[in-house]
Amino acid sequence: MTHALLVIDVQNDFCPGGALAVAGGDEIVAGINTAMASFDAVVLTQDWHPAGHSSFASSHDAAPMSMVEMPYGPQVLWPDHCVQGTQGAAFHNQLHVDRADLIIRKGYNPAIDSYSAFFENDKTTPTGLEGYLRIRGITSLTLVGLATDFCVNYSAVDAAKLGFDVTVNMALCRAIDFDGSLDTAKDGMVQAGVTLG
Ligand code: VGL
Ligand code: ZN
Q: Does ligand 1 come within 6 angstroms of the Cβ of 48? A: no
pLDDT band at 1 (very low <50, low <70, confident <90, very high): confident
Q: Does ligand 1 come within 6 angstroms of the Cβ of 150? A: yes
Residue 36 pLDDT more than 80?
yes
Model confidence over 134-159: pLDDT tens digits?
999 999 999 999 999 999 999 999 99
Distance from the CA of 157 to the center of ligand 2, in angstroms? Answer: 18
- The answer to whether residues 45 and 38 touch, using CB atoms and an 8 Å cutoff, is no
Whether 47 is catalytic is no
Q: Which atom of ligand 1 is nearest to the CA of 150?
A: 7
Compute the half-sphere exposure of residue 45: CA atoms within 13 Å on the CB side of its CA: 31
Please state, in angstroms and rounded to a whole number, the distance separating the CA atoms of residues 43 and 185: 22
Residues measured by CB to lie within 5 Å of ligand 2, the ion: 47, 107
Q: In what order do the strands lie in the sheet with 2-8?
A: 102-106, 41-47, 2-8, 138-146, 165-174, 195-196
Ligand nearest to the CA of 151: 1
Distance from the CA of 186 to the center of ligand 2, in angstroms? Answer: 20
Whether 9 is catalytic is yes
Distance from the CA of 79 to the center of ligand 2, in angstroms? Answer: 9
Amino acid identity, position 44: L
pLDDT band at 16 (very low <50, low <70, confident <90, very high): very high
Model confidence over 38-57: pLDDT tens digits?
999 999 999 999 999 999 99
The pTM (predicted TM-score) of the whole model is 0.98
pLDDT band at 69 (very low <50, low <70, confident <90, very high): very high
Q: Does ligand 1 come within 6 angstroms of the Cβ of 9? A: yes
Q: Does ligand 1 come within 6 angstroms of the Cβ of 158? A: no
Q: What is the pLDDT of residue 18?
A: 98
H or E stretch at 184: helix 181-191
Q: Which three-class secondary structure state does DSSP give residue 40? A: coil
DSSP state of 23: T
Residue 93 pLDDT more than 90?
yes
Whether 187 is catalytic is no
Residue 187 pLDDT more than 80?
yes
